[in-house]
Amino acid sequence: MSTGAVALGAERVSREFGGVQALKDVSFAVGEAEIVGLIGPNGAGKTTVLNAITGVDTAFSGRITFRGQDVSRVPAPVRARLGMARTFQRASLFPSMSCFENVAVAALAAGLSQTEARRRAEEAVERVGAGAVAQRLAAEVPLGTQRLVEIARAIVRRPTLMVLDEPLSGLEEAEVERVCRVIQELNAAGLAFLWVEHNTRAVLAISHRVIVLDLGRKIFDGGVDQVGEAKEVLDAYLG
Amino acid sequence: MNGSRRFLASFLPAAALCAVVALAALLFADAYLAQVAFLTGITVILVLGESFAVGNMGQLLMCQAGFYGIGAYVSALLEMHGMPPYLAPAVGITCGAVSGLVVGLAATRIRGHYLAIVTLAIGVIVEELLNNLQGITNGPIGLVGVPTFFGPLNAGNQADYIVVVWGAVIVVLGCLALLRESRFGWFLRAIRDSEAAAESIGLRIGTYQVATVTVAAAVAGLAGALYTNYAGLLVPDLFSYGLSAQILATAVLGGINSFGGAVVSSLVFNGVPQMAQVTAFYQYLIFGVVLIVMMQFAPRGLSQIGVYAVSLARRRLLGWGAGQPNAATVRRP
Ligand SMILES: Nc1ncnc2c1ncn2[C@@H]1O[C@H](COP(=O)(O)OP(=O)(O)OP(=O)(O)O)[C@@H](O)[C@H]1O
Ligand SMILES: [Mg+2]
């Protein structure tokens, strides 16, 4: 459950794409050191929310606050500097770099010295268990490994909030378990998570709280043990 | 990240090739070939700047000739007012960098094909300004009597000119190769690979785009200053936007972001036809056909053919497996 201070706040966030109301007045908060799962059917608006939160999209209405600061109009790279990190629904590594370099370049972008960047990148790669493929070209490793490296790249700056868009899709069972364990370990070290995931079993297993979106609206926000009984959620999923 | 090894791997072959070309010119060139050698050196510098920009931004820059012209005219004008010629390279680089910065800042929010169009417009504007600011540039008649490094090209000083321009080529190669392996170079590469991911790690794309255009423009400005101090005569036609297109095409033919490719491409498509005294008509015709064929079959340019040839030779001669390409040999457009 939320442990006091709020890391992230979304207040009445709405987004329209040429007549399609992708989000309508969505509000929620993520506490510091909380793991919040964001679920919902295809096209519910999950990625759209993440894009508003991380600044990939700034054409929404409403407000995004991050650690007490209004960041609604702050561009994505600046939000990254403030401590937000993310991964993408379509794994987006730098394909011309090795897995290790993908992480190291992010450490350099955080302003670290060469030696410190290398050390931190090694640490992050080990942490997600991608050490064995560190020197391989990112474009050539399996999707599951790419997703792990993406997480390593995201944590190397030591963010305070991680935003993950379907980190488990395309992963094998063992990799799913590994990613879930990594999330829990990082969370234990104080990192807050907002994650979108279709693997409901995994979401319910490790999240502290779940938010359900359907057709751009929030239809549920509460404990993982209640979501299965909520009528709106059953309706949305079972039609 | 193995920076020094990669630096040497990209710098040494290209620099060695340049040294060989310069040496051959020093040993064997007559007055005409010396002129070709000098002008080819200028082309190599322009193409290297373009290749760096296009390779790192993944976007087309269509005003190298404009930056080249600004470097040439400003250093010429300053020299005509008493500045010693040896300062010209610094002036050319500065003028190029400043104009690149201005263009870059004006285009910060412009990406993709739109940047190509905007820079094309800028190239046209520069050419028009050179033609029409009569009071300063002397219009279409151009500037005559511009001081030169060593006087008009002749048997006695052609070696000096060749050394200066090819020395500059090697210095530019070294600087660009260093830049590419620097922090800045890595960030550019990240942005080229994935803009969204680059932003997610805290990189501001606009800033790096401005910086890249500035670097390319500084390189072109240097070429302009060198040209001025060789030709002693400047007319606006030398800096037409058609030249920008040619520079871009030569860079693409070489293989974007491949220094060796840029050098070879400039030699093959610029130096050789001039050596053979092919008329401009046939030169453009052949160039156009080669461009079309290459884009069909080897869109990553000469460097792609080079990489293929090397791997083929290895397989045939040494029996090595094709193996996994690694980061050092795979170049992306
Ligand atoms: N750039 C865009 N232009 C137009 N419509 C868009 C755009 N992005 C999203 N949409 C629309 O907004 C709605 C929500 O899309 P979004 O990608 O946020 O869904 P999602 O919940 O992430 O779905 P999925 O589970 O399939 O990833 C969809 O109807 C989608 O078609
Ligand atoms: Mg999505």
When the pLDDT of each residue in chain B is averaged and rounded to a whole number, the result is 88
State residue B2's pLDDT score: 65
CA distance to A65, A121, B128, B220, B289, per residue, from B223 (Å): 50, 40, 20, 5, 28
The answer to whether A97 and A75 are in contact (CB under 8 A) is no
B330 vs A104, A108, A137: nearest CB: A137
Q: What is the pLDDT of residues B214-230, one digit of tens each?
A: 999 999 999 999 999 99
CATH, residue B205: 1.10.3470
- Residue A50 CA: nearest ligand 1 atom is 18
pLDDT confidence tier of residue A215, bands split at 50, 70 and 90: very high
Show me where the domains of chain A are located.
1-83+159-239, 93-158
Gap from CA of A46 to ligand 2 centroid (Å): 5
**Alpha-carbon torsion angle B145, B147, B149, B153, nearest 10:** 10
- Residue A166 CA: nearest ligand 1 atom is 27
Burial of B318 (0-12, 13-18, 19+ CB in 10 A): exposed
User: How far apart, in whole angstroms, are the C-alpha atoms of residue B145 and residue B233?
Assistant: 6
B1 vs A80, A96, A104: nearest CB: A104
What residues contact residue B176 under an 8 Å CB cut-off, 6+ apart? B48, B49, B52, B215, B219, B259
User: Amino acid letter at B86?
Assistant: Y
The yes-or-no verdict on residue B322 having pLDDT over 70 is no
Which residues of A are less than 8 Å from B183 in CB distance? Answer: 108
Tokens of A210: 């779940």
Which residues of A are less than 8 Å from B58 in CB distance? Answer: none
Gap from CA of A15 to ligand 2 centroid (Å): 14
State residue B131's pLDDT score: 94
Mutate to test the interface with B, among A56, A84, A96, A163 (most CBs of B within 10 A): A96
Structurally, chain B folds into a number of domains equal to 1
Distance from CA of A67 to the nearest CA of B (A): 18
Q: What is the pLDDT of residues B77-131, one digit of tens each?
A: 999 999 999 999 999 999 999 999 999 998 888 877 888 899 999 999 999 999 9
Asked whether the beta carbons of residue A109 and residue B330 sit closer than 8 angstroms, the reply is no
State residue B324's pLDDT score: 45
State residue B10's pLDDT score: 86
Please compute the mean of the pLDDT values over residues A7-15 and round it to a whole number: 96
* Higher pLDDT among residues A8 and A234, named by residue: A8
State residue A232's pLDDT score: 82
* Domain presence at residue B225: yes
- Which of A31-40, A227-236, B195-204, B262-271 has the lowest average pLDDT? A227-236
Which residues of B are less than 8 Å from A80 in CB distance? Answer: 199-202
Residue in chain A nearest B332 by alpha carbon: A96
* Domain presence at residue B299: no
When the pLDDT of each residue in chain A is averaged and rounded to a whole number, the result is 93
Please compute the mean of the pLDDT values over residues A194-217 and round it to a whole number: 95
- Its ipTM equals 0.92
State residue B331's pLDDT score: 42
Architecture of domain A1-83+159-239: 3-Layer(aba) Sandwich (3.40)
- Which of B36-45, B251-260, B293-302 has the lowest average pLDDT? B293-302
* Domain presence at residue B290: no
* Domain presence at residue B297: no
Return the percentage of chain B with pLDDT > 70, whole number.
95
Return the percentage of chain A with pLDDT > 70, whole number.
97
Q: Which ligand is nearest to the CA of A40?
A: 1
pLDDT confidence tier of residue B326, bands split at 50, 70 and 90: very low
The yes-or-no verdict on residue A40 having pLDDT over 90 is yes
The yes-or-no verdict on residue B310 having pLDDT over 90 is no
Asked whether the beta carbons of residue A85 and residue B196 sit closer than 8 angstroms, the reply is no
Residue in chain A nearest B197 by alpha carbon: A92
B196 vs A85, A88, A106: nearest CB: A88
State residue B25's pLDDT score: 92
Please compute the mean of the pLDDT values over residues B55-63 and round it to a whole number: 85
Q: What is the pLDDT of residues B7-56, one digit of tens each?
A: 898 899 999 999 999 999 999 989 899 999 999 999 999 999 999 998 88
State residue B151's pLDDT score: 86
What's the pTM value of the predicted model, to 2 decimals? Answer: 0.88
Q: What is the pLDDT of residues B171-192, one digit of tens each?
A: 999 999 999 999 999 999 999 9
Which of A17, A165, A194 is the best mutation target for the ligand 1 pocket, counting ligand atoms within 8 Å of the beta carbon and taking the most?
A17
DSSP string, B192-247: HH-HHHHHHTT--HHHHHHHHHHHHHHHHHHHHHHHHHHHSEE-GGGG-HHHHHHH
Q: Which ligand is nearest to the CA of A46?
A: 1
What residues contact residue B35 under an 8 Å CB cut-off, 6+ apart? B153
- Write out the residue range of the structural domain in which residue B118 sits: 3-275
